[in-house]
């Protein structure tokens, strides 16, 4: 009798639990479930381009326009780059919709760019119906197979019941640990089919460890080396920004007095005018941090991966130094440069542990050596670039006038090439997440859509895009998106009628054989006017200040086209395959 009563009571409780659970469910299509899932993840802005295989998703989106703002770009590559710009300035996950076949393959470049530069994205691609998979159906491509090497994770959904879990998992993977892109491919029948929707955020994925616990013994060993070092040097990478560890970095540097240089993607992790900031590393970085690398007795790499553009010839890199490497991704440890003390974990956790244990110190004499290098670079490179005696405008003087106009507090977005290196050398920064550029992949065409995404992500901050005439034409159609959204993007087109960086290499290493690098350009101002975008073209130095002022005062997008010297070069420069000590000043 007792057993029966207990069973009946348990059965009643189970039924009540099931009924309660049912009240949280709602029957809906896979497409509507996608909308609900995105809302659960806090998404309010996304980029994309519709097509046949993702049409049910866009039909569902029609009913969510008050909650999900969709930006219709003019090309799928533009959609991904715009999502990257948005993610980079906000720290949120960028979201894209693309259709199957060419829609998905057009997104590949942006996905690869996001993977190399650790940008969190969730790309949703439509796919042909599951019954047609593998039949070479119209606009069918194996996007999961194509993107497997360039995503943190990808997955193909064939049943609507899989959508909530797939989306939850996608956002968790994209934003956790070392961020990156995730692709979810949804068949058309899964978009149409109905099921009982329920959403559960993902908090853990089996076999996926986004970050490891910091080893206290490694921290202690790092502290010992830091305290012993006479000529330590910190290399600051994007991991500091991605981990939100800017204040922790400043506390560490201030306490230790260590000179710090930043990578291209680490730009703005510390203010430009910070006394211990000794400049940018790399092929076109500053003279001091490059030549002093081989004089340092300790390299402290903080959230950076020793890219070849930073190291030059690895056999001749940091030849006198021990290496402490603070890194969240185990795959980066010892991949390129051997770490004497690897400190795995989130730098926001590991750096304060080190700071709490290191001795207060100053490295005034060592820092003075960097300042001496600065004087050499100032005389040989910076002054001729910013105050040229020649007639033609230089890229550097244009960049400096723009950054000064915005009181060194704008977001700078660049495309790829000479202007990219010049902009990141001469633009100044006061706050973090102020730089959006394509680093590891070096994607021409990145700049214009990324600037759009950056402005939509930070509408109250000025956004200045520096772009060359080559890269500008690769995604010039996104002027249409800027026109439609009325995004206030200031476009500074540095026009030298060349593919400038390739031309520079041809000049220096191929005896000036300018093979297929000179451009015959259209009238960019006429094109801009066709998109309803104001602007002007400047070629004389005396007109620059007034033109920059007009651009800054104009409400809305503006194209300031500046004709710069045709054969200007970017220096300093570490030739490919050379040691960082062999950096050239001319």
- Does an H or E element contain 478, and which? none
User: How far is 215 from 341, CA to CA, in rounded Å?
Assistant: 11
- List pLDDT tens digits, range 260-300: 999 999 999 999 999 999 999 999 999 999 999 999 999 99
What SS3 string covers 497-555?
Answer: CECHHHHHHHHHHCCCCCCCCECCCCCHHHHHHHCCCEEEEECCHHHHHHHHHHHHHCC
Instruction: Give kind and range of the element (H or E) at residue 295.
Output: none
| Residues 218-239, mean pLDDT to the nearest whole number | 98
pLDDT at residue number 14: 39
Tell me, what's the pLDDT at 17? 37
Residue 250 in this model has a pLDDT that exceeds 90: yes
The pair of three-digit structure tokens given for residue 47, joined into one six-digit string: 């980029």
Alpha-carbon dihedral 448, 449, 450, 454, rounded to 10 degrees: 100
Residue 450 near residue 82, CB atoms below 8 Å: yes
Rounded to whole angstroms, how far apart are CA atoms 554 and 560?
11
pLDDT per residue over 97-147, tens digit each? 999 999 999 999 999 999 999 999 999 999 999 999 999 999 999 999 999
pLDDT at 51: 97
Query: What is the chain's length?
Result: 586
Place of tokens 């002054």: 383
Give residue 292's pLDDT: 96
Active-site option among 169, 188, 292, 490: 188
* Residue carrying structure tokens 């956004």: 463
If you average pLDDT over every residue of the chain, what do you get? Answer: 94
CA distance 315 to 92: 38
Residue 525 has pLDDT above 70, yes or no: yes
Report the first-to-last Cα separation within the chain, whole angstroms. 97
Nearest alpha carbon to residue 173 among 198, 199, 202, 200 = 202
8 Å CB contact between 354 and 331: no
Higher pLDDT, 1 or 311: 311
Active-site residue, selected from the candidate residues 139, 477, 484, 525: 139
Task: Report domain extents, the chain.
Answer: 4-197, 216-370, 391-563
DSSP string, 332-371: GTTTSS--SEEEES-HHHHHHHHHHHSPP---HHHHHHHH
pLDDT digits (tens, 9 = 90+) for 302-327: 999 999 999 999 999 999 999 999 99
Please name every residue paired with 72 in a beta bridge, in sequence order, or none if there are none: 48
CA distance 264 to 248: 20
Q: Is the pLDDT of residue 15 over 70?
A: no
**Burial group, residue 146, by CB count within 10 angstroms (0-12, 13-18, 19+):** middle
**The tokens of 20 are what?**
């309660």
Taking the C-alpha atoms of residue 40 and residue 164, their distance in angstroms, rounded to an integer, is 10
Whether 20 shows a pLDDT value over 70: the answer reads no
The superfamily in CATH containing domain 216-370 is TPP-binding domain (3.40.50.1220)
CA neighbours closer than 13 Å in the CB half-sphere of residue 574: 28
Averaged pLDDT, 24-30:
88
160 band by pLDDT with thresholds 50, 70 and 90: very high
- Buried-exposed string 170-196: b where 16+ CB fall within 10 A, e elsewhere: bbbbbbbbbbbbbbbbbbbbbbebebe
For the CA atoms of 423, 425, 426, 432, the dihedral, rounded to the nearest 10 degrees, stands at 80
Residue 349 annotated as catalytic: no
Predicted pLDDT at 25: 81
Structure tokens at 163: 């959508």
The Cα–Cα gap between 17 and 2 comes to: 23
Ranges 181-195, 294-308, 382-396: which has the least confidence: 382-396
d(CA 71, CA 49): 8
- Does the annotation mark 76 as catalytic? yes
Range with the poorest average pLDDT among 4-18, 298-312, 357-371, 419-433 = 4-18
Pick from 249, 269, 46, 79: which is nearest to 167 by CA? Answer: 46
Per-residue pLDDT band for 8 (boundaries 50, 70, 90) equals: very low
- CB neighbours of residue 309 within 10 Å: 18
Catalytic residue (one of 32, 76, 327, 349): 76
Asked if the domains 4-197 and 216-370 are classified in one and the same CATH topology, the answer is: yes
Residues 6+ apart with CB under 8 A from 20: none
**For position 370, what pLDDT does the model report?**
97
Architecture category of domain 391-563 in CATH = 3-Layer(aba) Sandwich (3.40)
What integer pLDDT is reported at residue 98 of this predicted model? 98
Flag whether pLDDT at 547 surpasses 70.
yes
Q: Residue 309, CB half-sphere, CA atoms under 13 Å: how many?
A: 17
Please pick, among 15, 67, 138, 362, the residue that the annotation labels catalytic.
Answer: 138
Q: How many C-beta atoms lie closer than 10 Å to residue 84's C-beta? A: 30
pLDDT tens digits along 479-492:
999 999 999 999 99
Strand partners, 324: 300, 341
Residue 5 confidence (pLDDT) above 60: no
Q: Which two tokens stand for residue 254?
A: 């201030």
* pLDDT range class, residue 342, cuts 50, 70, 90: very high
Residues 493 and 562 sit within 8 Å (Cβ to Cβ): yes
Mean pLDDT of 196-203: 96
Cis peptide before 572 (omega within 30 of 0): yes
442-465 per-position pLDDT tens digit: 999 999 999 999 999 999 999 999
Q: Which of 240, 293, 229 is nearest to 269 (CA)?
A: 240
Predicted local confidence at residue 389, as pLDDT = 85
Higher pLDDT, 115 or 22: 115
| For helices 30-40 and 163-175, angle between their N-to-C axes, nearest 10 degrees | 30
CATH superfamily of 4-197: Thiamin diphosphate (ThDP)-binding fold, Pyr/PP domains (3.40.50.970)
């Amino acid at each position: 009798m007792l057993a029966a009563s207990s069973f009946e009571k348990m059965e009643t409780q189970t039924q009540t639990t099931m009924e309660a659970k049912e009240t949280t469910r709602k029957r809906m299509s896979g497409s509507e479930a996608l909308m609900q899932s995105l809302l659960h993840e806090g998404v309010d802005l996304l980029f994309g381009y519709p097509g046949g295989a993702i049409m049910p998703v866009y039909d569902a989106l029609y009913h969510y326009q008050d909650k999900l703002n969709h930006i219709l770009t003019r090309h799928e590559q533009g959609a991904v780059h715009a999502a990257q710009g948005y993610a980079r300035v906000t720290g949120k996950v960028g979201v894209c919709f693309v259709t199957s076949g060419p829609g998905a393959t057009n997104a590949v470049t942006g996905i690869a760019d996001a993977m190399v530069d650790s940008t969190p994205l969730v790309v949703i691609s439509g796919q042909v119906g599951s019954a047609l998979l593998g039949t070479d159906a119209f606009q069918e491509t194996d996007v999961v197979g194509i993107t497997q090497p360039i995503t943190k994770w990808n997955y193909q959904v064939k049943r609507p019941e899989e959508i909530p879990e797939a989306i939850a998992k996608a956002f968790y993977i994209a934003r956790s640990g070392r961020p990156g892109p995730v692709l979810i491919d949804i068949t058309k029948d899964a978009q149409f089919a109905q099921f009982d929707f329920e959403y559960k955020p993902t908090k853990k994925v089996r076999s996926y460890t986004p970050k490891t616990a910091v080893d206290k013994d490694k921290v202690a060993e790092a502290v010992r080396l830091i305290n012993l070092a006479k000529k330590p040097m910190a290399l600051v990478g994007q991991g500091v920004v991605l981990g939100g560890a800017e204040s922790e970095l400043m506390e560490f540097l201030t306490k230790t007095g260590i000179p710090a240089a930043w990578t291209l993607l680490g730009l703005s992790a510390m203010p430009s005018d910070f006394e211990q900031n000794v400049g940018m590393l790399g092929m076109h970085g500053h003279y001091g941090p490059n030549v002093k690398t081989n004089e340092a007795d300790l390299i402290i790499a903080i959230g950076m991966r020793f890219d070849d553009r930073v190291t030059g010839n690895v056999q001749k890199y940091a030849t006198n130094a021990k290496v402490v490497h603070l890194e969240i991704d185990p795959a980066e440890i010892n991949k390129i440069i051997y770490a004497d003390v690897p400190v795995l974990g989130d730098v926001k956790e590991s750096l304060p542990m080190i700071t709490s244990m290191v001795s207060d110190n100053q490295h005034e004499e060592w820092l003075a050596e960097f300042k001496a290098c600065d004087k050499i670079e100032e005389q040989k490179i910076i002054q001729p670039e910013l105050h040229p005696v020649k007639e033609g405008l230089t890229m550097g003087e244009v960049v400096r006038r723009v950054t000064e106009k915005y009181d060194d507090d704008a977001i700078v977005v660049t495309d790829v090439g000479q202007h990219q290196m010049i902009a990141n050398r001469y633009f100044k920064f006061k706050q973090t997440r102020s730089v959006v550029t394509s680093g590891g992949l070096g994607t021409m065409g990145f700049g214009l859509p990324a600037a759009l995404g950056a402005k939509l992500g930070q509408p109250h901050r000025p956004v200045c895009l520096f772009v060359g005439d080559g890269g500008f034409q690769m995604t010039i159609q996104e002027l249409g998106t800027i026109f439609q959204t009325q995004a206030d993007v200031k476009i500074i087109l540095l026009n030298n009628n060349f593919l400038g960086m390739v031309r520079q290499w041809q000049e220096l290493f191929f005896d000036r054989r300018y093979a297929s690098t000179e451009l015959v350009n259209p009238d960019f101002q006429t094109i801009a006017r066709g998109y309803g975008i104001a602007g002007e073209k400047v070629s004389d130095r005396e007109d620059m200040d007034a033109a920059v002022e007009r651009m800054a005062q104009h409400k809305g997008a503006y194209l300031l086209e500046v004709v710069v010297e045709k054969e200007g070069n970017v220096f300093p420069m570490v030739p490919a395959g050379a040691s960082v000590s062999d950096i050239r000043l001319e």
